Chains A and B, each alone.
Chain A
Amino acid sequence: MELAAVVMLPTMSEPAAANSNCAERRSFYSSSLPILGNALLNPWSERVRKLGVRNLWLTSHSEEDGVLLSGLSRLAKQGIERLLLIQLKSYAEIDLADLLRFHRETRSHLTEAHDAKGQLGVSLIDRNDLNGIEKKMDPAFATQQGTPYSFRGYAKRILSASERQELVSDGLTGVCAMKPVGTQWTEDVWIGSGASIAETARVIGPAYIGARTVIRSGATVGPFASIEHGCVVETGVTVERATVLPRTYLAPGILIRGAVLNGGYLEDLATAAVVDLRPARLTRDMERPNISFLSNSGADRLFDFSVSSESYSSKSWREVKLD
């Protein structure tokens, strides 16, 4: 095996909500949550597949335990020539073949993809360097020792709710290659399969309505709004320049503007303030199926956007066939 690919899934670290029990809330930033119906993992896995790599390793990313390092060491012992390491914290339209070519041409032991803002979390490491892998995980070390691969294409880190919303806007307006999953209804409105929109509801593009989402009468969605799958938007609700994450219920008449809404919690994009809307019964998290991410057997499940974000904290490795 010449090249192995590992995707490190982020562990859950949630910002403190001003008036909430943090343990109960889902992360706004998790890369497991869909963006315009797309699982963030999918474009990376597709790029890896195009390199001819047929096995993708998934693991949770925790530098505090030895799971990651021991897993990488095990891979090194399997005779791979080099390792492609992807930290799932960004959407970047990197040509991995070009990155690989650059890595070979520069004869670097470690190549790290950068854009103008710094590291993108995509590295190529040669087998000989895998023994000291823990040093490679240190960004300071990588800057000093690794060869930077300068990427000038589209890249967006997804470390905050506002960055997530920027990617949504870019996807809706065609700034990036990420397309909303669904049928293009008008020039800038996409509707997912099984979505239901009342006749008197208004959808103002650019906008995205995810699969099986229900938009009731008199509701207004858009512009720059994304409502992910399985949501219910009640009568008279307005969602504008905002994202509603999967399986969220919005009570009649409310106004969601400039925010990311995740179940019972709202994050204001301008101030990053997080508010628990559950006591007011304005929104809530609808029942979610209990799907374990790393314990499922089929690759189709692994790349399904409905996987539970909580299960990303699982400290295990999983191999996925990309054929």
Chain B
Amino acid sequence: MISNNWTVVEFSRAVTAAGRRLVRKELLDGARRSDPLIVDFAGCATLDCQQIELLLEAMSHATGRNAEVLLVAHSRSIQILLDVTRISSLIPVLHSMEEMVRHFESVANGRSAPLYPAT
């Protein structure tokens, strides 16, 4: 059995100022919990500088608390942006939610080690 007690934050809502405030709150709240925090980039075609700033702030907050954070990129564009900003060297990036679920199943069954922290 695997636990599905993780928090998923849909990053695509961080388009407007209000959306960014909401996502920021969810990210910071999620980082305080003991459950894994999943940042889902589904629906994001790209990231602008404000979104990257928000992401970096949240990641800094989360890593300071040793929270388990995973990013789900979904697209090659987002993966590249996470690589260029070096965020992917700090936080593990998965390609899809299915891969994320498989990862947690694998960890729960003892077949693989947790990805966090990134190596």
Contacts and interface: CB of A to CB of B under 8 A. Distances in A.
Interface of A: 18-19, 253-257, 259, 266, 268, 271, 273, 275-277, 279-282
Given A254-B85, A279-B47, A280-B85, A266 B80 contact: yes
A253 B83 contact: no
8 contacts: A253-B85, A255-B83, A256-B84, A259-B80, A268-B76, A275-B77, A275-B81, A281-B48
Interface string B9-35: 000000000000000000000000000
Contacts of A266: 80, 84
Contacts of A268: 76, 80
A276 B86 contact: no
Contact of A280 (B52, B76, B83, B89): B52
B112 interface: no
B80 A280 contact: no
Contact of A276 (B46, B49, B76, B83): B46
Contacts of B118: none
A279 B76 contact: no
Contacts of A259: 80
Interface in B58-114: 75-77, 80-81, 83-86, 89
A282 B85 contact: yes
Given A254-B85, A254-B86, A255-B86, A281 B49 contact: yes
A253 B89 CA distance: 13
User: What secondary structure prevails in chain A residues at the interface with B?
Assistant: loop
A18 B47 contact: no
Interface residues of B, number: 17
A280 B45 contact: no
A273 B85 contact: no
Nearest to A273: B76
B49 A254 contact: no
Nearest to B52: A280
Given A279-B46, A279-B47, A255 B77 contact: no
B48 A279 contact: yes
B76 A271 contact: yes
Contacts of A282: 81, 84-85
A254 B87 CA distance: 10
Please give me the 10 A-B residue pairs with the lowest Cβ-Cβ distance, nearest first. A279-B48, A273-B76, A281-B49, A19-B46, A19-B45, A275-B80, A275-B77, A255-B86, A254-B84, A18-B77
A203 B60 CA distance: 30
A38 to B, nearest CB: 27
Contacts of B52: 280
B86 A280 contact: no
Contacts of A280: 46-49, 51-52, 81, 84-85
Contacts of B77: 18-19, 273, 275
Nearest to A256: B84
Contacts of B45: 18-19
Given A254-B85, A254-B86, A273 B80 contact: yes
Highest count of chain B CB atoms <10 Å: which of A18, A255, A259, A275: A275
A259 B76 CA distance: 13
A253 B76 CA distance: 21
Contacts of B80: 259, 266, 268, 273, 275
Contacts of A255: 83-86, 89
B85 A275 contact: no
Nearest to B84: A254
A253 B86 contact: yes
Given A18-B45, A19-B45, A19-B46, A277 B81 contact: yes
Contacts of A276: 46
A19 B41 CA distance: 15
Contacts of A281: 48-49
A280 B55 CA distance: 12
B93 to A, nearest CB: 14
B84 A279 contact: no
A253 B83 CA distance: 11
A149 B83 CA distance: 45
A306 B76 CA distance: 32
